[in-house]
Amino acid sequence: MEVCRSSAVSLREFGCEQSLLSRPDGSASFVQGDTSVLAGVYGPAEVKVSKEIYDRATVEVLIQPKVGLPSVRERSQEQCVRETCEASLLLSLHPRSSLTLVLQVLHDDGSLLSCSLNSACMALMDAGLPMSCLFCGVTCAIDYDGKIITDPSAAQEKGSRALMTFAIDSTERRVLMSSTKGSFSVHELQQCIAVSQKASEKIFQFYRDSISRRYSKNL
């Protein structure tokens, strides 16, 4: 388990562990503060005939909440994670196969969607699936004084006026996914995107460090 202490753009302490499950083809758990998500990837595997796509792989994302059954909220998050993964994976290299990504929420203390995105990216990388770029998730909250808080905890989320989650890609630092709550001005949106892009640098550096450490074992 690697841990990164962050200071400048204040992200909570985050950590990640890869290949921790034996059955899935790729797995990772990502921890941001007290929020923690476990991800497992199966694929490329056999696909049901009804879901087969002739020129690319079929991606399925399942989000399991900590308690209870997945609800409408999880469905909409699944859609966000799935389409982000589809954009970064090179799906045409595995036609007529299926990729299943299962995200198990272990604990939710705010910024859940961004933590899910990060664990999904690490798990996809662990599975060795061909990707055109990496992605990471950053959540920003705007409080009632107009201050921007990155990677808010559940309490900070509650006391905020607006909440935005972005997925940023690693090559051009552009916005792959955006999901917002609350109302905000255009200027605030642009500020939040800029802050997220800055924060993404840190997360990508962390990705690189943890992968390097992993490969340093068998050099």
Which of 12, 82 has the CB closer to other proteins?
Answer: 82
- Report yes or no: 72 and 30 within 8 Å, Cβ to Cβ: no
Q: Are 126 and 79 in contact (CB under 8 A)?
A: no
Which of 207, 65, 216 lies closest to 126 in space, CA to CA? 207
Closest approach, Cβ 103 to other proteins, in A, equals 15
At residue 88, what is the residue type?
A: S
Residues 175, 169: Cα–Cα separation, whole Å:
7
d(CA 29, CA 214) in angstroms, rounded, equals: 15
Q: Between 12 and 123, whose beta carbon lies closer to other proteins?
A: 123
Handedness of CA 210, 17, 75, 12 (dihedral sign): negative
What is the residue whose two structure tokens read 């993964």? 85
CB of 105 to other proteins, least distance (A): 17
Q: Which is nearer to other proteins, 10 or 171 (CB)?
A: 171
DSSP annotation of 119 reads H
Residue 10 or 208: the one with the smaller Cβ distance to other proteins is 208
- Supply the minimum distance, in Å, between the C-beta of residue 118 and other proteins: 14
Query: Which distant-in-sequence residues (6+ apart) come within 8 Å of 1 by Cβ?
Result: 15, 16, 17
Based on CB atoms, which residue is closest to other proteins, 8 or 54?
54
32/88 with CB nearer other proteins: 88
Which DSSP symbol is given to 89? Answer: B
CB of 215 to other proteins, least distance (A): 5
Cβ 139 to other proteins, closest distance in Å? Answer: 14
Phi and psi at 201, nearest 5°, equal: -55, -45
Helix (H, G, I), strand (E, B) or coil at 41: strand
CB of 97 to other proteins, least distance (A): 4
